[in-house]
Amino acid sequence: VSLGGATEAAIWSNAYEVTGVPAGWRSIPYGKPLRNQKFRVVDGRGRDCPDWVPGELWIGGAGVALGYRGDPELTAARFPEHGGERWYRTGDLGRYWPDGNLEFLGRLDHQVKINGFRVELGEIESCLQEHPEVAQAVAVPVAEGRGELVAAVVERSSAPDRVHAEPDRTRNPFLPPAATGESDPHRLEHRLVEALLAQVVAPLTGSDGDGGRPAVCAEQRPVVDIWCAYLTERDVLVRAADGTHRPGARWDEVTSPEGIAAAHEAAAGTVFETVAAALRWAGPLLSAILSGDADATALLDDPVLAPEALGDLMPATADCLRAVAEDLRARGGDVAAPRVAEWDVAQGRGTARLLAALGSAPVDYTLLGSSKPALAGTRKLLEEQGHRTRTAWQSPGAVAVQHLHTYDAVVANNVLHRMPDPDLAVATLALLLAPGGRLHLLERAHPTPLALVTALPLEARAGRFAAGRPETPWLHGAERWRQACADAGLTDVRVLRTEPGGEILLCADRPGTAPGIDPAGLRGWAADRLPEHMVPAHFAVLPALPLSANGKIDRRQVRTILEQSVDRPRDVDDPPRGDTETFVADRWTKLVGLESVGRNENFFRLGGDSLLATRFVAEVRGAWGVELPMRDVIRTPTVAGLSALIDRLRAADAYEEGAV
């Protein structure tokens, strides 16, 4: 029995007993109203529609709610009176069959107008989902420039059922392993990091003797809590019953000039020598980041302390990259120049090391990333070292069809943990692999002490600790990544290396006979079954469709992903207007490396990413003295839209100052 209805009308209002599914049905019928329930199919003038004529579904009867508590305007709009009865307007599109059954046709708000044609998005999605390799599809209109349709599809082979055990929450996942003594591979790191963090948190604990305690911005407060938990675990601090901290048994040892000098002397002649020198001067910057006076992205500009720079210093990382190079060289025997893609390239240090290890072995190497300026900088760095590569802009949320199942090998060098879910991360990369292609995955199983100093403030800046974001582990062990590879349909999953410092290297293969979407075939499928104006102009493939809190497809998020993932040519746009728009456009041109920016162009479509967006927010704060919410940058990523928001925020601040 199929049931339907709405929460506003006691949840269930109609039923249909399914005894078979004829070939011509687009969906299971809604059926007939339940006892004490009734339905109308209403046209735009509030009249009942004849059989077969679509209209809005209205629910009536004993189950209809009184309205929305505390929202009389919405109640009046959604609960009209008709014929002396109260009805609920569902916003759904449906029609009556002559036998009295109702057919559900989709949402009214899923009807759009594209270049003068009225389009029912549900028809497009149903057509695409009938393709044998498509599990799900969502079509959305993109309003920039000439209106067009873009479709997101999910492959049948990339949407497995995923059930995993809950992660271990008995210990803070952001802390390094608790090993101590001579066997601890991070022993020297601990000594350097303890000294620095004790210096930074001393004013917050009242241990500097000044009496006052500086404020910590909300964004970085979780970072301070983790730092204090780390120092407490190391006996540098003690946590009092009221939650405050004071110096612990090792405080004097760690903070004394002799102790600090001994730690730096121990680093001399090791890979940490340059790190020790950089940490000596890092205290003021970290303090400014905690207070909000400096942006955490400043750490990315540090040639030593940037996370990728620190990773490049580690011998185990170099060993893993050499192992990847050896495998690529061996696989090149079957392919003249294997097509290799590296995912989410940032600064290119690891890429340079990998290409150097490959030597003269032929390889067609493509750098994929969501930041066009970062890609350009990496390519220039590699060219200076004699390495020829391609670059391709690629959104992290969806795979553009030109990259779908294209590469003989994909390399992910310590970047997949930035994605919110390991299953979706690996499934996304599986979409890049050609049949028989191999994924090389390099990650860390646990944080290092130095990650607390550099990566953790950046994670906070990226919103990991933001209110409402689900709590997920930061890093994952080899077994979790192995399971993610298996769930993505990859085979021959092997853990090639596990290093004492936490580095892990896995490889996994896409089966040579694995099915997959053929972009040209999918486009032809749609063209053969839909009118020309309903054929999507662009396609993108997602590992899974995002869901809302109640388990429904989050169409708004799908639209955001597609607007940021489909790389279309730039339209000629109007220039900025006024001082604020000129300021915003000027900052954008510098951030994304363009000569000019139109007032209606999308920041993320121009090559901006979350890190560049945070730098833009910091520049707005410095120039105008207002805090631009990151969520608004994502929702309204145009020069005109953000300039209007900046002006409103400035006006509000001026009003508050005047009122005071």
Q: What is 509-521 written as a DSSP string?
A: E--TT-----HHH
Can you point out the beta strands (E) in 226-363?
A: 237-239, 245-247, 339-342
Query: pLDDT > 70: what percent of the chain?
Result: 90
- The Cα 25–Cα 17 span in angstroms is 15
pLDDT value of position 57:
92
- Under the banding of pLDDT at 50, 70 and 90, the label for residue 252 is very high
pLDDT value of position 632:
80
- Segment 369-386, tens digit of pLDDT: 888 788 888 889 999 999
Are residues 408 and 438 in contact, defined by beta-carbon separation less than 8 angstroms?
yes
Whether 159 shows a pLDDT value over 50: the answer reads: no
CB atoms within 10 A of CB 17: 8
CB atoms within 10 A of CB 362: 11
CA dihedral 241, 246, 250, 251 (to 10 degrees): 170
Whether 175 shows a pLDDT value over 80: the answer reads: yes
CA-angle at 610, arms to 274 and 344, nearest 5°: 65
Task: Name the amino acid, one letter, at 399.
Answer: V
Task: Out of 3.10.129.10, 3.40.50.720, 1.10.1370.40, 3.40.50.150, select the CATH number for domain 315-509.
Answer: 3.40.50.150
- The Cα 196–Cα 660 span in angstroms is 41
- Segment 194-209, tens digit of pLDDT: 999 999 999 887 665 5
- The Cα 399–Cα 426 span in angstroms is 12
Q: For the ranges 29-33, 561-565, 577-581, which has the lowest average pLDDT?
A: 561-565
pLDDT value of position 395:
82
Please report which residue ranges of 55-186 form alpha helices under DSSP H: 72-78, 121-129
Q: Give me the mean pLDDT over the 519-536 stretch.
A: 89
Q: For the ranges 22-31, 585-594, 610-619, which has the lowest average pLDDT?
A: 22-31
As assigned by CATH, the class of the 578-659 domain is mainly alpha
To the nearest whole number, what is the mean pLDDT of the chain?
85
- Segment 31-83, tens digit of pLDDT: 899 999 999 999 888 899 999 888 889 999 999 999 999 899 999 999 999 98
Residue 113 vs residue 240, higher pLDDT: 240
Are residues 217 and 290 in contact, defined by beta-carbon separation less than 8 angstroms?
yes
pLDDT value of position 144:
46
pLDDT value of position 656:
55
Query: pLDDT > 90: what percent of the chain?
Result: 41
pLDDT value of position 160:
47
Token reading at 459 = 């994670």
- Segment 261-282, tens digit of pLDDT: 999 999 999 999 999 999 988 9
CATH 1.10.1200.10 domain position(s) in the chain: 578-659
- The Cα 247–Cα 405 span in angstroms is 56
pLDDT value of position 660:
45
Identify any residues that bridge with 444 across adjacent strands, giving them in sequence order.
503
Name the helix (H) or strand (E) containing 135: strand 134-142
pLDDT value of position 28:
80
CB atoms within 10 A of CB 111: 15
Phi, psi angle pair for 229, to nearest 5°: -65, -40
Torsion sign across C-alpha atoms 599, 601, 606, 609 = positive
CA-angle at 232, arms to 226 and 238, nearest 5°: 125
- Segment 397-440, tens digit of pLDDT: 888 888 999 999 999 999 998 887 899 999 999 999 999 999 99
**Residue listed under structure tokens 């601990």:** 190
Residue 571 DSSP symbol: P
Helices (H), strands (E): how many in the chain? 22, 24
- The Cα 310–Cα 303 span in angstroms is 9
Please name the fold of domain 2-114. Answer: Luciferase; domain 3 (2.30.38)
CATH 2.30.38.10 domain position(s) in the chain: 2-114
Residue 575 vs residue 157, higher pLDDT: 575
- Segment 288-313, tens digit of pLDDT: 999 988 888 888 888 898 888 888 88
Burial of 515 per CB tally in 10 Å (0-12, 13-18, 19+): middle
**Residue listed under structure tokens 């974001």:** 469
Please name the fold of domain 135-159+518-564. Answer: GMP Synthetase; Chain A, domain 3 (3.30.300)
- Under the banding of pLDDT at 50, 70 and 90, the label for residue 145 is very low
pLDDT value of position 571:
53
- The Cα 511–Cα 89 span in angstroms is 50
Q: Give me the mean pLDDT over the 154-169 stretch.
A: 60
Identify any residues that bridge with 86 across adjacent strands, giving them in sequence order.
81
* 31: three-class secondary structure by DSSP: strand
Q: What is 352-376 written as a DSSP string?
A: HHHHHHHTT---EEEEEES-HHHHH
Closest CA relative to residue 220, chosen from 325, 113, 295, 120: 295
* CA dist 163 → 108, 425, 427, 480 (Å): 35, 16, 15, 12
* 243: three-class secondary structure by DSSP: coil
pLDDT value of position 26:
61
CB atoms within 10 A of CB 288: 14
- Under the banding of pLDDT at 50, 70 and 90, the label for residue 604 is confident
Q: How far is CA 180 from the centre of its chain?
A: 36
Are residues 67 and 80 in contact, defined by beta-carbon separation less than 8 angstroms?
no
pLDDT value of position 158:
47
